Structure 1
Amino acid sequence: MSAVPTNTAPDVVTIEIDGVPMTAPKGSMIIQAADKAGIPIPRFCYHEKLPIAANCRMCLVDVEKMPKPAPACATPVMEGMKVTTRTKRALDAQRNVMEFLLINHPLDCPICDQGGECELQDLSVGYGRSVSRYVDRKRVVPDEDLGPLVATEMTRCIQCTRCVRFTAEVAGTYELGGMSRGENLQIGTYDGKPLMTELSGNVIDVCPVGALTNKVFRFRARAWELIARESIGYHDALGSNLYLHARRGEILRTVPRDNEAVNECWLSDRDRYSHEGLYAADRATRPLVREGEAWREASWDEALAAAAKLLKDAGQSVGVLAHPATSNEEGALLARLATGIGTGNIDHRLKATDFADAAFAEPFAAPSAQLERADVVVLVGCNLRHEVPLLHHRVHEAAKRGAKVYTINPVDFATTFAVAGKRIVAPSKLPAAFAALAHAAGAALPSGVSAESGDDVAAAVHRNASEALKAADNAYVVLGEVAENHPQASWLRATARALAAATGAKLARLPQGANAIGLARHGVRPAAGGLDAAAMLAQAQSAYVLYGVEPRYDFAHGAAALKAMAGAKVVAFAAYASEDLKQVAQVILPIGLLPEIEATLTNLDGTDQATRAGGKLPGEARAGWKVLRALGGALALPGFAFTDIDGLRAGLAAEAPANGSGLAAAPAAGEGFERVVTTPIYRGDAVLRRAAALNAHPLSTGARIVLHPEDAQARGLVDGAIAKVGDGIGSAALPVALDARVARGAAWIENGWDATAPMSPTAGLAVVGA
C-alpha cells in the first residue's frame, strides 16, 4: 500500500491536480497551485499581479464533489481537494466559454497588430471550433482616444477587465471602467479623456487581445519579425529590466522583462516609449569638426586628432562633465582621461547646487523592493511619482497595506495614495521644517541646523510622523530631486541621517541620474583639489569635455553653462548634434546611446546591471568606450591599452566615495518668489526630449509658472495669463497656471524647457503681468 502524503504544516493544505499530489498555501487559488506545478489551465481575466475578477470563466475545472465546473482562479484550495483539468466536462465548459467569447469578436487576425502574440488567438486554436455557429451581425464598439501612447480597437475587447483592475489597483488612478451591461458592456474612460497615469503602457501588456495596443509601434512590424535583446531603463535610477525588440537593427518596441527585485513585470511609459527619440533628425552620425563658424564632416582620425590637440593645448585647465546616465565603462575611461591629462576637474552632478558636504549618490539602506512592505514612509523634497514611477508604485502598494506616508514638500505633488500628514512650505523653509520633524523624533541635529517653531498644525504633523517612525519596524526616509538639488541640500542630508539614526529608519536618497552611483564609484568625481560641476562653470576653464550633455537642459542653470563654455574649447561626445552644442563645441564625436551598446549601470540598490546592444549604431557613430579608448591612445595616456570591452572591464575597480559632513552657509533672505525646480517627467535627458509621443502626452505641460491662487490674485494674474518672470539673471514670458498645491510665496517652474533655461534655480523671482 503506497504512503499517503500527510500535511503537518499549519499554513498549507495537501491537494491533488490531475493526479499530481502537492501542497499549496491556505487561501490560495487552484490556478496558482496549478501554475506552480506547471499544469496548464487556460485563462483570460486572471493575472497574477491583479485582483481576482473571475469574469471570463475560461479556467473552469472539475473539482471532486462539486456539482458543476468551478473557476480555478476563484476557488480556494482545501485540504484533500482533488482537481482535474482535462475531463470531458471541464473541456466542454472551456470550449463553450471560448465559443461565447468569439461570438462578437471580429475576424481580423490578419490585420490585427496583436496577431502572433494574442492570448485569445492562441487559446482559440486549442479550445475553439473551426467554424462559428453564430450567424447574426456582430456588435461594434466605438473607439476612444486614450492619448498618444495607447491605441484602441474596443470591438475586440472580451471584457476581461484586466486593464480596469490595472488602472485601479496598480496605477491607482481608476481611469478605466465598465459602462452599461450585458452585450452593451463597454470598457472606457467614461469622460473621454486620455490616460494620465505614467504607467499607462502596461494596459497593453495585460490585455489578452488586440483591444489595447502600442500606438507608437502599431503596424510597424509583426511579432515574428522582431529580435529581443535584454536591456535596462536608463531614465531613472531604478534600472527597470526590459527587452528591446528590433528589426534589422532598428529598435521598434520596448517591453518589460520580469524582475521581482526591480520592476516586477511593469514598465513606466518613460522607459517604454523613449526609443522613439533614438532616431531624431539631429542624431550625430559622423564626426564633426568646426572651422571658423562652419561645421564639416571629418574622418574619425581627423576628429580624434583635433580633439587630442585641443586637450593638449588646454593643459590642466580642462573640465570633464558627464551626464549622470553615462555607463560605468565610459565613466571609468573618462576618469582615466582626466587623470592622464592632469586635471582633477571631473563631475557628473550637473544639477546640484550645494556641494558643501561633498555628497555623492549612495545605494538605498535596504532593497527598494522592501518599500512595498514599509510601515512608514517620509518623502522629503520628492515628486516620487514623476522621478521614479515604479518606486512610487511600491509606496502605493505599501499604503494599500496600511502604511503611513508623510510628505514635506514645496508643492503637494500628486500621489495615488492618501498621505497621513503633510507640510507644504516654501523651498527656503524646507530644511527647518524637516529639522522640526527630526527634532520631534529625538534626533541629534547637526550643529548649525535649526528647527522651525511652527504652528499647532505643523507640530501635530511632526509629532504624528515622529511617533509613527519610532514605532515602525520598517520605515523609510526618502530624499528626492528637490531635496538633493536644494541650495541647502547638505542640511537636508545631514538631518535625514540624524533622523534615520534616531528612529532606525532606512535612508533612501534618490540618485540624480540613472547611473549616479556607478559614476561616483568609478571615479567621475573631483580629485583632490579638483573643481565640482558648479565650480567648473563659475571658474571658466580653457577647455571642456562634455559627455552626453546638452548644456542648455542638463545643468542646474543652462544659460550659465552656455555662457561659461562660449569662450572655451569644447570636445563633445554626443549622440545628437544639437544647435546649442554646435554653438559651443569645436569637435563633436558621435557615440551610441545605451540601447545601442554593451554596458553596465548601477541602480539605486547598488546593483550592477548589464545591457546588450539592441539596435545598430547610426552611420559612423561608435560605442563611447571605443571612442574614449581611441582618444586615450591618440594622447598616449596609460590605461587605454585594452582591445575589447572584456579587457576594459577587467581593469575596472569600483570604490564608493565617502560623503562629507560640511554644511552650506545659510542663504540671505531674498525678495520675490522662491523658485521650485523640478525636471519634467518626459524631458529628463536628450532621448526623452526627442520622443515625440511622450512630449505630446498631457503630463508634458510645457514651460509655465505655477502659482498659488492667492499669490496670483495679489498680482492680478489669472489662469492662462502670460507673466513676465525674471530673477536679475534671466527672464521669460510664461503662461500662468493656478494650483493651490503650491506653497505660498513659491513659484513652480520646471527646467528642461527652452523658455526656462535663462533663469537661475536659486535666485528670487519677480513676477508681473505681461
Structure 2
Amino acid sequence: MEVFYIDDQPVPFEKGEKILSAALRAGLEIPHFCYHPALSVVATCRMCLVDVTDLGNGRPAPKLMTSCSTDAMPNMRVSTQNDKVQEGRELVMEYLLVNHPLDCPICDQSGECTLQDHSYAHGTGHSEMEYNKRVYGWRDIGTFVQLERNRCIHCSRCDRFTREVTGTDEFGMFNRGHELTLDTFSDRVMTNHFQGNMADICPVGAITEKEFRFKRRAWKLRKVPSVCTGCSTGCNITIEHDRNEVLRLKPRENQDVNQWWMCDEGRLTYQQMNEREQRLAKPMGRVKGKLLQVTWQQLYDAVADRLEALKPKREQVVALVDTHSTLEEMFSLRRLLQEVFSSNQVFYPQQDWTQPESEFFIETLITTDKAPNQAGARLLGLKGSQEHDVISAMKSAKLLLVLGNPFTNEQPLLDLAGTTELMIHIASRQSEWTDRADAIFPGQNHAEKEGSFLNKQEHWQRFWPALRPSRHVRPEWQILSELLHMG
C-alpha cells in the first residue's frame, strides 16, 4: 500500500480512500460529525477540516480541505493541528452552537455527546452571537425515538440512514438556511424496525430512545460485550448496566454479522434480563405433592437417589432443551444423558427460518427464527422436534429433564410431563413446566452468565456476564455437571 503523511506520521491508504477514513483506520483522530462509514459522504459539518500542505506534487492546497471528501494521494502531507486548522475548527464550532441550547444538564446524550467533546477540545469558550436562538418544540417521530430539533446540528446522518440503510426514506431535512429543520414527511410517525439506530448515530441529543430517556447518566453505565438473543442472527451488542440493572442494549460493530446495526425488537430484550416476577430465585423440591423451598444440597441428595433408581430404565429418559441455552449447556446436557443413561433423546423445538428479501442489508437482520442457538443444537447432534416424534418418546418416559423453557405452547407435551416418575426443571424463570416439576434448579439468565451461541451463519460468538447473579442461583452447565458426577 502507498502512504501519505498526517502530522509527519506515515499512513497507508488504498486507492480512492479519503483522508479521514485512512486516518481513523490508522487510529488517528480527526474531529467530525457528519461522516459515518456506513453512509454517503456529504461534507456538510466542516469539522474535519485539515491543512494539506503538500498535495503530493510539491504544491499546497489553496484552502482548508474537508478530510472526509478529499482523496489521499501518495506522499501527500496533511496537518491536523496547525494554527490555521485550529482557527477553522473554532469557527465551525461557533457556527454549530449558534442555535444549540445549553441542555447538557437534562440531555440523555450528555457524557457521550460528540458536540460536547469537540466543543471542549476545539471551541473558543465564548460566542459573539447576541441574538435569540430559534426554538422548536419536541416531536414524537416514531414508536421508539423522540426528536428534539433544537439540539440538531444538521449533520444529516439520520436522513441518510433512512434513505440509504433502511430504504424507507421516511425522514428528511426541510427548508433552507436559518429555517432548516428535520422531520418526518407529512408529520407521520416512523414505523421502520430500526429506529434505535438513528439515536445511536446521532452525534448530539437530537434523537433519543424513549426507553432510555432520563433513566441514567451515560457515565454511570458499565458496558459488557454480548450477543442479542432476539433471533438467530445473533447481532453483536453491548449490555449497558448500572446497579445490577440492564438499562439498554446497543449494537456492537461486527461486519460479518450485523455491521453497525440491530433491530428495535432486539433492543427490548433487555426487559427480560431485568425480569423479577417470573424469576426462579431458589431451589425447590416436591414434598408430599407440594413444591417447597429446599437447600441446594437437599435437592441434590433427593435427585441423586431417584436418578440411581432410574438407571435401569435408560431407554425411557428424555430431555428437552431451549434453543436459548448456550453451547456449553447443551453439551453438558447431552453428556449427562449419554454417560449416565446411554441415551441420546435430547430434543429441541426446531424452527424453520426465513428473512426478508431486500436490497438493504439491514432488513436481513430480522429472521422468523427466534432461537439464537438453533444452529448450535444441530451442531451437537440434538434432535429437532420436526424430525422426530417427541410425543412418542414422552409417552414412555420415566425421567424428563427440561433445560430452559422449550415447547411451552405444546399442551400435549405439558400434559405428558405429569406421567413421568421424575421431572427436573433447570431454568432462570418460571413457565408451564415449573408447576409440573419434581425438582427445580434455578439457573442464571443471559445477562448473568458466560457462554456462546452459533448463529444462523454458523458464526461462533461468545458473550460475558454483565449482572451479578443471586447467590441462590447457579450456571446451568454447572448444575448439569454436578448431576453427571452424582450419576
- Same fold by TM-score greater than 0.5: yes
Contact persistence 1:239–1:603 (CA under 8 A)? yes
1:347 positional shift: 2.9
1:535-554 equivalences in 2 (<5 Å): 535-536=391-392, 539=395, 541-553=397-409
1:88 positional shift: 2.6
1:49 aligned onto 2:38: yes
The alpha-carbon distance between structure 1 residues 283 and 220, as it changes in their structure 2 partners (threshold 3 A), is same
1:144-543 equivalences in 2 (<5 Å): 144-280=139-275, 281-291=277-287, 294-309=290-305, 311-312=307-308, 315-316=313-314, 317-342=316-341, 344-351=343-350, 383-385=354-356, 396-397=360-361, 513-525=371-383, 532=388, 534-536=390-392, 539=395, 541-543=397-399
> 2: CA distance between counterparts of 1:267 and 1:310?
46
Partner of 2:57: none
> 1: CA distance between counterparts of 2:370 and 2:119?
48
Contact persistence 1:51–1:165 (CA under 8 A)? yes
> 1: CA distance between counterparts of 2:242 and 2:159?
32
Which sits farther off after the overlay, 284-293 or 161-170?
A: 284-293
Contact persistence 1:204–1:214 (CA under 8 A)? yes
The alpha-carbon distance between structure 1 residues 36 and 517, as it changes in their structure 2 partners (threshold 3 A), is closer
Partner of 2:461: 609
> 2: CA distance between counterparts of 1:286 and 1:396?
46
Counterpart selection for 1:627 from 476, 479, 483: 479
Query: What SS does the aligned partner of 2:239 have?
Result: strand
Partner of 1:30: 19
The alpha-carbon distance between structure 1 residues 545 and 93, as it changes in their structure 2 partners (threshold 3 A), is same
> 2: CA distance between counterparts of 1:191 and 1:341?
66
> 2: CA distance between counterparts of 1:60 and 1:80?
19
1:98 positional shift: 0.6
1:528-558 deviations in whole A, cap 9, x for unaligned?
Answer: xxx94634566352332111114334xxxx2
Contact persistence 1:155–1:211 (CA under 8 A)? yes
Query: What SS does the aligned partner of 1:384 have?
Result: coil
Letter in 2 for 1:298: V
1:21 positional shift: 4.8
Partner of 2:450: 598
> 2: CA distance between counterparts of 1:293 and 1:574?
21
Contact persistence 1:144–1:152 (CA under 8 A)? yes
Contact persistence 2:403–2:426 (CA under 8 A)? yes
Partner of 1:572: 425
> 2: CA distance between counterparts of 1:318 and 1:134?
78
1:159-199 deviations in whole A, cap 9, x for unaligned?
Answer: 11112212222222223211232232222222444443333
In structure 2, runs of 5+ residues without a counterpart are: 54-59
1:95 positional shift: 1.0
The alpha-carbon distance between structure 1 residues 55 and 574, as it changes in their structure 2 partners (threshold 3 A), is same
1:45 positional shift: 0.3
- The count of aligned residue pairs is 472
> 2: CA distance between counterparts of 1:590 and 1:397?
39
The alpha-carbon distance between structure 1 residues 201 and 533, as it changes in their structure 2 partners (threshold 3 A), is farther
The alpha-carbon distance between structure 1 residues 218 and 294, as it changes in their structure 2 partners (threshold 3 A), is farther
Contact persistence 2:283–2:442 (CA under 8 A)? yes
Counterpart selection for 1:107 from 85, 94, 102: 102
Contact persistence 2:142–2:195 (CA under 8 A)? no
Partner of 1:563: 415
1:107 positional shift: 0.7
1:293 positional shift: 6.5
1:81 positional shift: 4.1
1:220 positional shift: 2.5
The alpha-carbon distance between structure 1 residues 323 and 201, as it changes in their structure 2 partners (threshold 3 A), is same
Partner of 1:466: none
The alpha-carbon distance between structure 1 residues 215 and 296, as it changes in their structure 2 partners (threshold 3 A), is farther
> 1: CA distance between counterparts of 2:190 and 2:309?
54
> 1: CA distance between counterparts of 2:476 and 2:429?
13
> 2: CA distance between counterparts of 1:620 and 1:30?
55
1:256 positional shift: 2.5
Query: What SS does the aligned partner of 1:552 have?
Result: coil
1:99 positional shift: 0.5
1:88-99 equivalences in 2 (<5 Å): 88-99=83-94
The alpha-carbon distance between structure 1 residues 627 and 14, as it changes in their structure 2 partners (threshold 3 A), is closer
Contact persistence 1:321–1:547 (CA under 8 A)? yes
> 1: CA distance between counterparts of 2:116 and 2:326?
41
> 2: CA distance between counterparts of 1:537 and 1:179?
64
The alpha-carbon distance between structure 1 residues 548 and 105, as it changes in their structure 2 partners (threshold 3 A), is same
The alpha-carbon distance between structure 1 residues 318 and 21, as it changes in their structure 2 partners (threshold 3 A), is closer
The alpha-carbon distance between structure 1 residues 180 and 570, as it changes in their structure 2 partners (threshold 3 A), is farther
> 2: CA distance between counterparts of 1:260 and 1:548?
31
Letter in 2 for 1:229: V
Letter in 1 for 2:354: N
1:19 positional shift: 3.5
> 1: CA distance between counterparts of 2:225 and 2:80?
35
Between 1 and 2, higher relative CO (CA 8 Å, sep ≥ 6) is seen in 1
Query: What SS does the aligned partner of 1:103 have?
Result: coil
> 2: CA distance between counterparts of 1:346 and 1:142?
61
> 2: CA distance between counterparts of 1:289 and 1:194?
51
Structure 2 length as normaliser, TM-score? Answer: 0.86
Contact persistence 1:332–1:524 (CA under 8 A)? no
Partner of 1:361: none
Identity across aligned pairs (percent)? 32
Which sits farther off after the overlay, 133-142 or 113-122?
A: 133-142
1:66-117 deviations in whole A, cap 9, x for unaligned?
Answer: 4332221122334554433233332222111111111111112122211111
Partner of 1:731: none
Contact persistence 1:29–1:72 (CA under 8 A)? yes
Partner of 1:83: 78
Contact persistence 2:449–2:475 (CA under 8 A)? yes
Q: Over the residues paired in the alignment, what is the CA RMSD in angstroms? A: 3.0
1:44 positional shift: 0.2
Letter in 2 for 1:165: R
1:424-462 deviations in whole A, cap 9, x for unaligned?
Answer: xxxxxxxxxxxxxxxxxxxxxxxxxxxxxxxxxxxxxxx
> 1: CA distance between counterparts of 2:442 and 2:52?
64
The alpha-carbon distance between structure 1 residues 23 and 616, as it changes in their structure 2 partners (threshold 3 A), is closer
1:175-230 deviations in whole A, cap 9, x for unaligned?
Answer: 32112322322222224444433332222221111122233233222222222222
Contact persistence 1:16–1:81 (CA under 8 A)? yes
Counterpart selection for 1:126 from 110, 121, 145: 121
1:319 positional shift: 1.4
